[in-house]
């Protein structure tokens, strides 16, 4: 059912360990995302955002609940979504070009087939001259761009991005946010984006899902009705400030 309830998370729970040692990471999380939407997940540290993504990526079994993509369960089935972690996980012994093509080449797709798209994306992301360099020769922002290109090249329609810009300075982060918005608009992906930065969530998203303190539960699923394309000066509009204050109050209550 394209365009309608494309991705459904249903009553998802995860408890690590058992008895006295049990940690209830997330509890009864349900939400739906339509195809092509940009949804940010916002919550205090330790509320289970990475747990949720690991389950959605098929890498971790939930204690209960289900995740449906186009009506099919993807629980315990890796390979249905693209997943980018906060750490770039580039292989230090491979060039940037080889790193961005990694997922495809591991699947046996010939390099000459992947290379044109890889190079076009690297050009778009300002890495055109860096394909022959190695990860430790690049800045943090450049490495994150390479990791993002690698995630895009997986050709999955759903991308899970776990705090991809969390470790970057404010200026680099702003540039990468703009770049991500352009790539998202051009590539028609459905993006779920974990962040603990309220402004970043509002700037990028169509929707924001707010999670509670552990065990993570859905506090609110709000729609961001700000016009697109968005530039950083949208942060000074009254609607942006209203939403920021609302989310900030909610998260402050959770942390205290
Ligand atoms: P977040 O990404 O929001 O910071 P996590 O999903 O990493 O949260 O963790 C949620 C909770 O589950 C935390 O209290 C964390 O310590 C706990 N947790 C995460 N992974 C494990 C694990 N493998 N074993 C036990 N507890 C874990």
Could you tell me if 174 and 232 are in contact, meaning their C-beta atoms sit under 8 angstroms apart?
Answer: yes
Q: How do residues 21-32 score in pLDDT, each as one tens digit? A: 999 999 999 999
Q: Which ligand 1 atom minimizes the distance to the CA of 45?
A: 4
Instruction: Report the pLDDT averaged over residues 101-106.
Output: 89
Confidence band, pLDDT 50/70/90 cuts, at residue 187? confident
Instruction: Report the pLDDT averaged over residues 174-197.
Output: 91
Whether the per-residue pLDDT at 106 is higher than 90: the answer is no
| Ligand 1 pocket mutation, candidates 13, 46, 161, criterion most atoms within 8 A of CB | 46
- Please tell me if the CB atom of residue 48 comes closer than 6 angstroms to any atom of ligand 1: yes
Q: At what angle do helices 140-152 and 111-124 cross, to 10 degrees?
A: 130
Residue 16 β-bridge partners: 23
Residues 6 or more apart whose Cβ sits within 8 Å of residue 169: none
pTM tops 0.85, yes or no: yes
Res 150: pLDDT: 92
Burial (CB count within 10 angstroms: exposed 0-12, middle 13-18, buried 19+), residue 119: middle
Instruction: Tell me, in angstroms, the distance from the centre of ligand 1 to residue 214's CA.
Output: 9
| Ligand 1 pocket mutation, candidates 16, 60, 209, criterion most atoms within 8 A of CB | 16
What does the alpha-carbon distance between residue 71 and residue 52 come to, in Å, rounded to a whole number?
19
Residue nearest atom 5 of ligand 1, based on CA coordinates: 48
Residue 191 β-bridge partners: 38, 159
- Please tell me if the CB atom of residue 14 comes closer than 6 angstroms to any atom of ligand 1: no
Mean pLDDT (the chain, rounded): 92
């Amino acid at each position: 059912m394209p365009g309608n309830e494309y991705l459904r998370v249903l009553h998802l729970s995860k408890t690590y360990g058992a008895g006295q040692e049990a940690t209830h990471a997330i509890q009864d999380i349900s939400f739906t995302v339509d195809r092509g939407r940009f949804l940010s997940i916002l919550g205090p540290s330790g509320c289970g955002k990475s747990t949720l993504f690991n389950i959605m990526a098929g890498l971790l079994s939930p204690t209960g609940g289900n995740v449906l993509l186009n009506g099919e369960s993807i629980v315990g089935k890796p390979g249905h979504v693209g997943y980018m972690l906060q750490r770039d996980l580039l292989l230090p012994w491979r060039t940037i070009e080889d790193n961005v093509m990694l997922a495809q080449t591991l699947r046996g797709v010939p390099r000459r087939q992947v290379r044109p798209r890889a190079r076009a994306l690297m050009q778009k992301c300002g890495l055109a001259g860096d394909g022959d360099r190695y990860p430790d020769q690049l800045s943090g922002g450049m490495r994150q761009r390479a990791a993002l290109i690698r995630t895009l090249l997986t050709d999955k329609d759903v991308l899970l991005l776990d705090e991809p810009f969390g470790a970057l300075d404010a200026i680099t982060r702003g540039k990468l946010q703009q770049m991500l918005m352009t790539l998202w608009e051009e590539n028609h992906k459905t993006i779920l984006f974990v962040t603990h930065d309220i402004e970043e969530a509002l700037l990028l998203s169509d929707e924001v899902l707010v999670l509670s303190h552990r065990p993570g539960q859905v506090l609110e699923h709000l729609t961001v009705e700000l016009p697109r394309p968005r530039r950083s000066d949208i942060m000074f509009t009254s609607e942006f400030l209203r939403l920021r204050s609302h989310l900030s109050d909610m998260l402050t209550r959770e942390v205290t």
